Amino acid sequence: MSARPLILLDVDGVLNVLTIDPGPGWERHTCQSWNGTYRVRLNPAHGPMLLELAEQTGAELVWATTWTDDANREIGPKIGLPKLPVIDVMAGDDEPWINPKVPPVAAYVAGRPFVWFDDELDATDRAYLADQAGVSDFLIVDVPAGLGLSAEHVQQAADWLAALTPQP
């Protein structure tokens, strides 16, 4: 099994900024997801920024979003991302005290270190992850939903990934 680190991507609140007027650099789009039509605000600089992060760190980009497969059709192409693997975050057991994405993510990573860009994870989610046998090193980068992913968040991930002990 590959020990390459993973970079987990959320959409809403990370790549789709959740504010009325996000300012320059953001573009409005109308997207179809499995559960409806959504107006989103995406930043075309994000794709190149994330691809460079993956390239520089040897990590693999993966979707971890309730858009699931629709992210590859509706989000990625609009910001310059190729088709990426998808974690089925809708497949989680119903454990109401943790974010429902967390158990499927814990199962998917299977010991690989990971950075996770998300806007909705809290201390309970971190504690749950840290307690899972299949979870090794991870960094959750908390992205404020009203600001979206920034170059500083990406740099934080780059620094953390660069400091990982190389996997055998």
Q: Could you list the residues that contact Mg ion (CB under 5 A)?
A: 10, 12-13, 119
- Cα torsion 64, 66, 71, 76: sign: negative
Find the shortest distance in angstroms from Cβ 14 to Mg ion: 6
Residue showing the smallest CB distance to Mg ion in the complex = 13
Which of 103/134 has CB closer to Mg ion? 103
Distance of CA 156 to the CA centre of its chain: 14
Which of 10/125 has CB closer to Mg ion? 10
Find the shortest distance in angstroms from Cβ 69 to Mg ion: 17
- Cα torsion 125, 126, 127, 130: sign: positive
Find the shortest distance in angstroms from Cβ 151 to Mg ion: 19
Which of 19/136 has CB closer to Mg ion? 19
Burial of 112 (0-12, 13-18, 19+ CB in 10 A): buried
